[in-house]
Amino acid sequence: MTKLSVNINKIATIRNARGGNVPDVIKAAMNIERFGADGITVHPRPDQRHIRYQDVRELKKVVSTEFNVEGYPDKGFMDLVLEVLPHQVTLVPDPPNALTSNNGWDTIRNSDFLKEIVQELKSKGIRVSIFVNPDPIMVEAAVLTRTDRIELYTESYAAHYAHNKSNAIAPFILAAKKAEEVGLGLNAGHDLSLENLRFFSQEIPKLLEVSIGHALISDALYLGLENAVGMYKRELRP
C-alpha cells in the first residue's frame, strides 16, 4: 500500500503565531505516528517561519517511522540534513521567499548541480527524492542525477480534479510510467486531499509514498487528528 507521510509544517505555523510551544510539534509528530501514519515530513525554510532547524534536530530523536526533510539545498539546509541524517531528503527548487512549493526542478538545466547534491546526500546513506512536474522528459532526465526517487508535484491535478479528473490525472500517469520505465521510485505531493487522493492513488502505478500536510491538518480541525490520519490512510487502501 502507498505510504502516508504527514507534513507537520502547519502545526508549527500555529505554534509560531503565539510563541511558546503550543501546539507542541514533537508531541504532534509522535501522535501522528501512533495514529497510523507511515512517516513525518517537514520543510524547514531559511526564515524558519514554521518548522525551525532545531525542530528538525528534535524530531530526528523521536520519529520512529520515516523522517523526510524537504527543502532547497542551500548551505544551511545541507548542513542541517547532513547533521541530522533523515531517512529521506526531498529536494525542491523553492526560492527563499516562496509561500509554498510551486514548481518542479528543470532536471535538464540543473542536472550537474543536482547530481553533486544527490551524491553528497547518498554518501551519508540518505535516500534522495527530487521534486518534478509531471513531464516525462523531466522524469527521464532525473535519472542522470542518480536520485533514488522523484516526487510528482500534484498541484495541477488537485486544481483540475473537480472539473475533469481524467484529464487532470493523464500527465501524471505518463510521468509515472516513465519513472517505472527508467527505474525511479515514485512519490507524490501537494494539495492532495480526501476529495482527490483515492483516485490518484488508484490510477498511478507503483506509487510508493504521498506527502500531505495542509489538507490533512485542516481536516483535523473538524475531524480530530486521529480521525484525519485514519481517513487518509483508508483512501490509500487498494
- pLDDT of 63: 98
Per-residue pLDDT, 96: 62
43: helix, strand or coil: coil
DSSP H stretches of helix in the chain:
9-18, 25-34, 53-62, 75-84, 111-122, 136-142, 155-160, 165-182, 197-203, 214-223, 225-235
163 is catalytic: no
pLDDT value of residue 138: 97
What's residue 94's pLDDT?
80
Whether residue 190 lies in the annotated active site: yes
Catalytic residue selected from 33, 43, 50, 235:
43
Query: What was the pLDDT predicted at 60?
Result: 98
Q: How far apart are CA 59 and CA 72, in angstroms?
A: 19
Its pTM stands at 0.95
Question: Quick one: cell of 229?
Answer: 490520519
- CATH 3.20.20.70 at 3-235, yes or no: yes
Domain range list for the chain: 3-235
Q: Copy the grid coordinates of residue 19.
A: 510563541
pLDDT of residue 103: 83
CB atoms within 10 A of CB 135: 18
Q: What would the grid cell of residue 155 be? A: 498541484
- Check 33, 66, 70, 235 and give the catalytic one: 70
Per-residue pLDDT of the chain (238 residues; tens, 9 = 90+): 999 999 999 999 999 999 999 999 999 999 999 999 999 999 999 889 999 999 999 999 999 999 999 999 999 999 999 999 999 999 999 866 655 566 899 999 999 999 999 999 999 999 999 999 999 999 999 999 999 999 999 999 999 999 999 999 999 999 999 999 999 999 999 999 999 999 999 999 999 999 999 999 999 999 999 999 999 999 999 8
In angstroms, how far is CA 55 from the centroid of its own chain? 17
pLDDT at 18: 93
172 contacts 200 by C-beta, under 8 angstroms: yes
Residues 6+ apart with CB under 8 A from 18: none
From the list 33, 50, 151, 190, the catalytic residue is 190
**Which strand (E) or helix (H) includes residue 130?**
strand 127-132
Q: Is the peptide bond before 23 cis (omega within 30 degrees of 0)?
A: yes
Are 59 and 67 in contact by the 8 Å Cβ rule? The answer is yes
CB proximity list for 58: less than 8 A, separation 6 or greater: 26
Is residue 70 annotated as a catalytic residue, yes or no?
A: yes
